[in-house]
Structure 1
Amino acid sequence: MVHLRIVAPHAECRHVVELLTGSDSAFNIVHLENVATKPDGDLVLCDVARADVSLVVADLRELDVDVDGSIAIEEIDSEISALSSNAFRRRRDDFATDPVVWENVSSRTSENVELSQSYIVFMVASMLIAAVGIYFNQPILIVGAMVVGPDFGPIAGICVALVNRSERLARRSAAALFYGFLIGTLATCAMTILLREIDQIPSTIDFDSHTLVRFISNPDIFSVYVALIAGVVGMLSLTTAKSSALVGVLISVATVPAASNIGVAAAYADWSTARGATIQLGLNLASIMAAGLVTLLLQRRIYMRRRRAHLSDRARTTAGLPIGRSRRADVDPDEEPAAE
């Protein structure tokens, strides 16, 4: 279940309450008149079955609630209610129901693509950890670096931007990904040179003899195979809020270790290894993005089909909304299906 907090002008709130009351997915509806400030208006609280949140929010946007007021979405960890349990059970048994809350996906992605100081610190730290694993042939450190690396956020951001046709989000995501890897690789190269000069690491490294971490700079068909699967799982973990699955995605794909290996190999002037690691990084990034984009497009297609069917729901008439089409179809065609 998901909790909605809606603020809207008093005149519009009548339609908001009628919309929620007529929905089979909304429960625990509370309407408080003239209690909100900035913006001024009424406050409406309700709980909605997760699978129908985006459908309800789309209806609220047709009422211009997002323009004249606000809509806040909060996850509910647990709710003890026979009504909500029946709604959850009904949606759970509907295999075709899409559980994605698209507003949360956009918000979560936007937060994770910021080129901030903390993002750069995480990227540099993860690549320095991976470098130690490369120096001493220690795969456990490679795994640790994969978990620390924050690069999946911008990767997912690019996929979401392409589906939503958001040029601004695409630029921000690409910039975070590019500069994160660039700064991390340069920092790894510089630190490797420094550690070698003070005799803390070997003066030469035979990368081919490091059998436990050699895969980082030796791409093969399984590099693409694993990255494609990881892209699917990663996007599903983002859209369905299954964060435990995302950890497995981070561990399975050698993006951060490959970038780190470029810096280490460059410090040792081993350009063959650097080239192999660069190819590995490129293959992993391209495969993850391709698989993630396809997954997101399929989920979006499922939602648009459900949205189109929802537009024919007679309950919309109680809130003054048209049947068979959306008021926002002309101004926001990427978010709303065209009338049949």
Structure 2
Amino acid sequence: MLVHLRLNVPTGLTADVTDLLVDHECATNVTLQRGASLVPQGDLVECDVAREIAGEVITRLKALGLGETGGILVSTPTAWPFAAAQRLERDAPGDPEDAVIWDSVVDQAYAAARPTVTFHVFLALATLLAAIAVITDSAVLVIGAMVVGPEFGTVAAVATGIVFAKWGLSFRALRLLVLSFVVCILFVALLSFLADLTGLVTSEMVTRPRPQTGFIWHPDRWSFIVALIAGAAGVLALSTNKANAMVGVFISVTTVPAAGNLALALGTWTPSEITGSITQLLINLGGMIVSGVVVLALQRLLWHRVTSASARLFFSR
């Protein structure tokens, strides 16, 4: 698996940058267009590198000063049908599926910590779906609410900020989580209140036995254990670019369903379910943040050694 680097290089750094890439055994397709970069003024350098060493190459480019004075753009090709690419994959240490590009992880975290209209709309819709799931006692709708909820990336951003000591990132992500959940819960609570006035929803619908959805406001030790496991799986999927694994994370924690249950309990004023819903919500968010911090910290410390050892163990190289 290859990663493509597009570099806008000030003229004074061009020789150092090209020497680094040309001499690197895991880089190929190195091209140089002199004077092609207008802002910043300089040259355009492009190359392909094995994903396993992309993070190392980017770190060395930043050490040359390119991160401050030039531009570094990282993209992933959809196919690489040429012999040199196969050679790079053989020569690169570890496996591309295990590779972590930390700059990409941090950039994703900053993106997830930004308050956007889309984020709030998806969270509000997910909370509304969860509230309807409570009324109808539908496990299918609970799963749908979990999948629609966009909050995990922001949870991972909190953990990323802690591990990289980027406290501003953690603060922005945590503030987004708190404010967005408060806004969406109040919004759905208002709708529930109006529905209660019209008789569409009643307090009895919330308090009656719900064998399919009662678990979302009954926190126990397993709630925290599941949150820990889901948080670990989630940050691992994000850091290694395993987007397909995220679906399993989305449907394993009851963050949004607890918010929906809380909103419905507030709207119909059912105090017996308010405390449990709040506790479930906090347990899930807290557990995912804790496990996210632990997994990211262990990855930074041990991941390179673990992947190198696994390559020898499984004879993948």
TM-score (norm 1): 0.85
- AA at the equivalent of 1:196: D
**Structure 1 residue 33 corresponds to structure 2 residue 28:** no
C-alpha distance after superposition, 1:128-151 (max 9, x if no partner): 111000011011111111111111
1:146 aligns with 146
User: 1:76 is matched with which residue?
Assistant: 77
Q: Please give the alpha-carbon distance, in whole angstroms, between the structure 2 residues aligned to 1:195 and 1:119.
A: 25
The alpha-carbon deviation at position 265 of structure 1 amounts to: 1.3
Instruction: Give the secondary structure class of the aligned counterpart of 1:204.
Output: helix
**2:173 paired with 1:173:** yes
Q: Which residue of 1 aligns with 2:246?
A: 246
Q: Is the Cα–Cα contact under 8 Å of residues 122 and 149 in structure 1 kept in the other structure?
A: yes
- Determine the structure 1 residue equivalent to 2:311: none
Instruction: Report how far residue 32 of structure 1 moved.
Output: 1.3
Aligned to 2:160: 160
CA distance in 2, matches of 1:96, 1:191: 48
Structure 2 SS opposite 1:8? strand
Residue 199 of structure 1: how far off its partner (Å): 2.1
Q: Distance in 2 between matches of 1:62 and 1:84?
A: 26
Secondary structure in 2 aligned to 1:266?
helix
Correspondence 1:264-275 to 2 at 5 A:
264-275=264-275
> Contact 2:135–2:206 at 8 Å: present in 1 too?
no
Q: How do residues 1-340 of structure 1 correspond to structure 2 at under 5 angstroms? A: 1-91=2-92, 94=94, 99-207=99-207, 209-302=209-302
Rounded to whole Å, the distance in 2 between the matches of 1:286 and 1:203 is 29
Aligned to 1:321: none
Root-mean-square deviation over aligned CA pairs: 1.9
**Secondary structure of 2:73's partner?**
strand
Counterpart for residue 314 of structure 2: none
Structure with more of its chain in helix, by fraction: 2
Q: Distance in 2 between matches of 1:13 and 1:226?
A: 50
Structure 1 range deviating more: 108-117 or 174-183: 108-117
In structure 2, stretches of 5+ residues that fail to align are: 307-317
TM-score normalised by the chain length of structure 2: 0.91
Residues 191 and 294 of structure 1: CA distance in aligned 2, closer, same or farther (over 3 Å): same
Aligned CA distance change for structure 1 residues 70 and 95 (closer, same or farther; 3 Å): closer
- For 1:281 and 1:97, locate their aligned partners in 2 and report how far apart those are by CA, in whole Å: 33
Structure 1: stretches of 5+ with no match in the other structure: 307-340
Q: CA deviation at 1:90?
A: 4.0
Q: Provide runs of 4+ in structure 1 moved above 4 Å.
A: 95-98, 303-306
Alpha-carbon distance in structure 1 between the residues aligned to 2:130 and 2:97: 41
Report SS of the residue matched to 2:104: helix
Which deviations, in whole Å up to 9, do the C-alpha atoms of 1:70-97 show, x marking residues without a partner? 11101122111222112223447x3799
